[in-house]
Amino acid sequence: MESTRVNENFLNELRAIVGAEYVISHPADLLVYEYDGSIDMRLPQAVVLPASTQEVSQVMALAHRYGVPLAGRGSGTGLSGGAIAPPGGMQIAFTRMNRILGVDTVNRTATVEPGVINLDLDLHANKFGLRYAPDPSSQKACSLGGNIAENAGGPHCLAYGATTNHVLGLEVVLEDGAVVNLGNLAREAPGYDLRGVFVGSEGTFGVATKIVVRLLPLPETVKTFLGIFPDIDSACTAVSAIIGYGIVPAALEMIDALSIRAVQNVMDAGYPLDAGAVLLVELEGLKEEVSETSQEVEAALWEAGAAQVRVAEAAQERARLWLGRKNAFGAFGSIAPNYFLVDGVVPRTRLTEVLQRVSEVSQKYGMPIANVFHAGDGNLHPIMLYDGREPGAHEKALAAGGEILRVCVEFGGTLSGEHGIGLEKKEYMPLVYTEADLAAMQRVRDAFAPSGRLNPGKIFPDGQPPHKPPPQRAAPGMVA
């Protein structure tokens, strides 16, 4: 798509809609919006912060009239470049639209705005004996709008499903400013499942301005196991053994030796430094059910070769174990100044083989690769650790990540389990989809956004490299 630069008339009209203080256009102020949690960077031409559906609609209609491409932005924690501004484009940031509009305890639903932080919703629901199940590692910071765009997952999605399984209805603003409602409060609805199509569309269909989500009752009993293993192979065997017992834990997470070292460098999560890998297994449910299942889980861990099995039932103990898992990505800064993460998926029965190949990739590129991931559903998170100041290190990390994605596909897996395709993986889409497949997807996108100005350049291959080294920052060069 031809790049378009916003002009002063456009900015003045934006200011008239949301107020001058909520239109950001000075180059220095825009710097904090040029990146998300990925390694891509692009300075937006402007960022607008609306406060209501009406303002979002007016902003979208104005951008459509001027031909300005745009991207929605929540908290900027995404890991595939989904919130990066398109060339010559702008961002709509939902920081001000952060209200929990209501909780229906009878029907177990909540209605929220897209800027609500995931953990804030969960903690608010807890007051009513309810919970919001999807729990990405960035739960303390990520917003519901971004979770919907990427169909975010998290450790507890093994049992409860990803974001799409918990969204009942959406108020959505389309490319031209039109406001539509998708889904409803019923579990099943007649007609096309447009709600399901929208969740995971990575901001290319429209932006959500109101979200109705399903809440679940808080479990009566929760028990967390820490299985400590001498190597990653025996930990993978335990994963298959637990599932082989017919048990689907609430969560089943694996952390390898390098990740353990990173976590323990920054906090004491209780992970032994001499372990080759640890498994976090969490059971939830009725007291009797958890008690019975616990015996089978513990037996599976020992049978697979665990050196030690610890059990945490008290909330404080469990929180400590999970804090290490959820802080792992930030902890890698204690080992290397930069990291590049991919989230390929493989059948869990092939975990041992795939992780061996990941180790081979690490040796080939001379680059440490850590693994902390959702073992229960085979969603890998290989993390290339490097120093971006070294010549060629950035490109080497990208090449290693691409090779791992090819391995995932080779073993019957796919490119992403929860982070989305975005800029990061778009050039690898032909590994999984034919030209006809991709064309069909594009026709669906065009039905929602026929001008193609919502998050353009994401998801679909266009011949551009999946990543470029972070560019030198420059003024956006507004043209009057």
Model pLDDT, residue 92? 98
Q: Which residues of the chain have pLDDT under 50?
A: 1-3, 469-480
Q: What is the pLDDT of residues 136-179, one digit of tens each?
A: 999 999 999 999 999 999 999 999 999 999 999 999 999 999 99
Model pLDDT, residue 114? 98
Model pLDDT, residue 471? 45
Cα separation, 351 vs 329, in Å, equals 21
Q: Give the residue extent of every domain in the chain.
A: 8-95, 100-217, 221-330, 336-439
| 272, 334 Cβ separation under 8 angstroms | no
Q: Are strands 338-341 and 109-112 parallel, antiparallel or unpaired?
A: unpaired
Model pLDDT, residue 474? 36
Assigned token pair, 234: 């025996």
Model pLDDT, residue 475? 34
Model pLDDT, residue 3? 43
Classify domain 336-439 by CATH number: 3.30.70.2740
* Fold classified for 221-330: Alpha-Beta Plaits (3.30.70)
Cα separation, 96 vs 338, in Å, equals 31
What is the value of pTM for the model shown? 0.93
Model pLDDT, residue 215? 98
Cα separation, 66 vs 253, in Å, equals 47
- For 100-217, CATH number out of 3.40.1000.10, 3.30.465.10, 2.60.40.730, 3.50.50.60 equals 3.30.465.10
Residue count of the chain: 480
Model pLDDT, residue 343? 95
For domain 8-95, the CATH class is alpha beta
Question: 206 — alpha (psi -120 to 50), left (phi > 0) or beta?
Answer: left
**Same fold for the domain at 221-330 and the one at 336-439?**
yes
CA atoms within 13 A on the CB side of 7: 7
Model pLDDT, residue 1? 39
Secondary structure (H, E, C), the chain: CCCCCCCHHHHHHHHHHHCHHHEECCHHHHHHHCECCCCCECCCCEEECCCCHHHHHHHHHHHHHHCCCEEEECCCCCCCCCCCCCCCCEEEECCCCCCEEEEECCCCEEEECCCCEHHHHHHHHHCCCEECCCCCCCCCCCEHHHHHHHCCCCCCHHHHCCHHHHEEEEEEECCCCCEEEEECCCCCCCCCCHHHHHCCCCCCCCEEEEEEEECEECCCEEEEEEEEECCHHHHHHHHHHHHHCCCCCCEEEEEEHHHHHHHHHHCCCCCCCCCCEEEEEEEEECHHHHHHHHHHHHHHHHHCCCCEEEEECCHHHHHHHHHHHHCHHHHHHHCCCEEEECCCECCHHHHHHHHHHHHHHHHHHCCCEEEEEEHHHCECCEEEEECCCCCCHHHHHHHHHHHHHHHHHHCCCECCCCCCCCCCCHHHHHHCCCHHHHHHHHHHHHHHCCCCCECCCCCCCCCCCCCCCCCCCCCCCCCC
Sign of CA dihedral 455, 460, 465, 467: positive
Number of Cβ within 10 Å of residue 385's Cβ equals 21
